Amino acid sequence: MARWQPGARERLQAAALERFAEQGFDGTTVAEIAAAAGLTERTFFRHFADKREVLFFGQDRFEHMFLEGIDNAAEGPPMSIVAAALESATAFFPDERRAWSRARQAVIDADPSLQERELLKLSSLAVAMTRALRLRGIEDTAAALTAETGVAVFRVAFGAWIAEGEERSLAELQRAVLAELRSLVSTA
């Protein structure tokens, strides 16, 4: 087996995603993932705590990009600040990552425990965004509502972005979802 070759984490992620798609998440072992990547189990565990982490690697960076957008946003209404956070986070999802994200989501959608983990990730994001908005002086209820709304906008736009045949960028889709939300709110 190859040792210390560059790109081990990416190879493990690609091998895992392929195995999960073919055999299901529960039907895939770490040994199979490592072998498919041409690596050892030991190397797998240097990069990931368990096989779920293959799908959720980078969560800290994901959250950081939203929080950085809140920190760097110009003064304005809470939803404008969250719109800046959404825009900032699009860098985490370049168009060349769309196929991987689509395959990853299919694996998550097929497994209730992974769905739960995904929801926990998004819930943690909403909590972190709420805290960041409060630090900017936004009142508690407004901060919580705005953060939760921002996560909902992200989820809807992300679902559209990974849909077969979709060609618009995540940034374009988030702007469209925000515009739709504003039109719904103005007619309420």
Residue 30 corresponds to which tokens in the numbers above?
């770490």
pLDDT for 185 equals: 85
Q: Which CATH number belongs to the domain containing residue 165 in this structure?
A: 1.10.357.10
- Cα diameter, the chain: 62
Judge if 105 and 175 occupy the same domain. yes
Q: With 60 as the cut, is the pLDDT of residue 4 above it?
A: no
Q: What is the mean pLDDT of residues 32-55?
A: 95
Q: Do 43 and 8 contact (CB within 8 A), yes or no?
A: yes
Judge if 41 and 114 occupy the same domain. no
Judge if 117 and 159 occupy the same domain. yes
Torsion 114-178-94-97 (CA) sign: positive
Torsion 155-123-59-113 (CA) sign: negative
This prediction has a pTM of 0.90
DSSP state of 29: -
Q: How many domains does the chain have?
A: 2
Residues 6+ apart with CB under 8 A from 182: none
pLDDT for 5 equals: 61
Residue whose C-alpha is closest to residue 66's, from 117, 142, 135, 126: 126
Domain that holds residue 30: 8-50
Judge if 108 and 172 occupy the same domain. yes
Does residue 31 lie within any of the structural domains? yes
Does residue 2 lie within any of the structural domains? no
Reduced 3-state DSSP string for 13-82: HHHHHHHHHHHCCCCCCHHHHHHHCCCCHHHHHHHCCCCHHHHHCCHHHHHHHHHHHHHHCCCCCHHHHH
Judge if 36 and 108 occupy the same domain. no
Residue 154 corresponds to which tokens in the numbers above?
């992200």
Which pLDDT tens digit goes with each residue over 51-71? 999 999 989 999 999 999 999
Does residue 3 lie within any of the structural domains? no
Q: What is the mean pLDDT of residues 141-161?
A: 98
